[in-house]
Amino acid sequence: MVDFGTRLKELRQKSGLTQKQLADRMWISKAAVSYYEQSLRSPSSEVLVKLAEIFHVTTDYLLGIEDKRQVIDVTDLPNEDIQLLEDAVALLRRKNFDRSKAEERGGERER
């Protein structure tokens, strides 16, 4: 399980932000960001939520509870585009479900 400090540092670096730039966006000190990344301090729930919003991840991902970044940020999209994405996801789930059922049936025939 990845710890919070490691995950925060990875996200910050992948985003091309310095500790100072992240601190400025968060209205906290650069030292606070450094302490978080070194796991010397834990963020408040408010800071945790802000970080999740900045990096477009869940708080569970930040905390190392889940490993997948399965969040799609649709903040600036109009409702009809969001609906289109939801429909596409539902279609892909049905396709994958149908495929797995077909594979199960194929395996039963071989027995």
- pLDDT of 103: 79
Confidence bin at 90 (pLDDT 50/70/90): confident
- Please spell the DSSP secondary structure of the chain, one letter per residue: ---HHHHHHHHHHHTT--HHHHHHHHTS-HHHHHHHHTTSS---HHHHHHHHHHHT--HHHHTTS---------TTS-HHHHHHHHHHHHHHHHHHHHHHHHHHHHHHHH-
- pLDDT of 33: 98
What span, in angstroms and rounded, lies between the C-alpha atoms of 91 and 19?
41
Rg of the chain (C-alpha set): 20
User: Per-residue pLDDT tens for 23-32?
Assistant: 999 999 999 9
What span, in angstroms and rounded, lies between the C-alpha atoms of 35 and 1?
20
How many Cβ atoms are within 10 Å of 57's Cβ, its own excluded? 19
User: Per-residue pLDDT tens for 59-68?
Assistant: 999 998 888 7
User: Which of 30-39, 69-78, 99-108 shows the highest mean pLDDT?
Assistant: 30-39
Closest-CA residue to 13 (of 37, 35, 30): 37
